[in-house]
Amino acid sequence: MTSAYPDPALTVGHPHRLDTGEPIDTVVFDLGAVLIDWDPRHLYRSLFDGPESEAAMEDFLANVCTPDWNLEQDRGRSLHEATEELVRRYPDRAELIRAYYGRWEEMVGEPIEGSVRITRELRARGIRLVALSNWSAETFARVEHRLGFLDGFDGVLISGRVGLVKPDPAIFELFTKQYAVDVRHAVFIDDSARNVEAGKRAGFDAIAFHSAEQLRSELVARGLVEANPRRPPVD
């Protein structure tokens, strides 16, 4: 691995947890909305029109194709079963429901460059990278080829492949055992408040992700990256 920084210790502080002061050697990333842009609104804004379209779309995503419904696919339920079950409940919304997974790729945007750049900087410092994501195994297979930044990760645990989802403590236990992660020396990053709280309970130094800029500030405080890197590191 080649680093763009001749001596990282001269430009970045000693990596440490803010709560315990323990050294950090591993950073665990969520994927969707942290490293890659994913939002069902990217698709559904094109399917709702009229003066009340935004409100109608939000109502549909809150009450029909809900986050809890989607979470069951992240847990391993098949897309076909989930779609047909919802169509039976809401036959008048069948076309919109079928679009959720039929046109799922349209919900996926680009990698979040500011976050991806942070992963490169962490790698350049010798920090181990691992991912833990709530994601359907079926949909992840459709988009994995677009996630080239994962080449720099030691491992990726996808919830749909193991039948467990965050914030269940069991998935954190499985993850730490499978990838030999010592939570005392690890940071966990997620955009879901309840997953962040679960990460804290599991023993991680957990960070709630809001933006790449905010994440950088959090990692600067822990001595993991520079506030204003002079040039991007080389993979």
Query: How do residues 100-139 score in pLDDT, each as one tens digit?
Result: 999 999 999 999 999 999 999 999 999 999 999 999 999 9
Average pLDDT of the chain to the nearest whole number? 93
pLDDT (tens digit per residue) in 87-110: 999 999 999 999 999 999 999 999
**Strand boundaries in the chain, DSSP class E:** 26-29, 36-38, 108-111, 128-133, 155-158, 186-190, 205-208
Q: Hey, CA dihedral for 172, 175, 177, 179, is it positive or negative?
A: negative
Q: DSSP secondary-structure letter at 180?
A: T
- What is residue 118's predicted lDDT score, i.e. its pLDDT? 98
Indicate the pTM of the whole model. Answer: 0.91
State the CATH architecture for 8-35+112-221.
3-Layer(aba) Sandwich (3.40)
Q: Answer whether 15's CB lies under 8 Å from 122's CB.
A: no
Q: pLDDT band at 13, cuts 50/70/90?
A: confident
Alpha-carbon span 77 to 75, nearest angstrom: 6
pLDDT (tens digit per residue) in 169-204: 999 999 999 999 999 999 999 999 999 999 999 999
Residue type, 149: F
- What is residue 234's predicted lDDT score, i.e. its pLDDT? 56
Q: How is the chain split into domains, by residue range? A: 8-35+112-221, 39-107
Cα–Cα distances (Å) from 79 to 82, 150, 216, in that order, read: 5, 25, 36
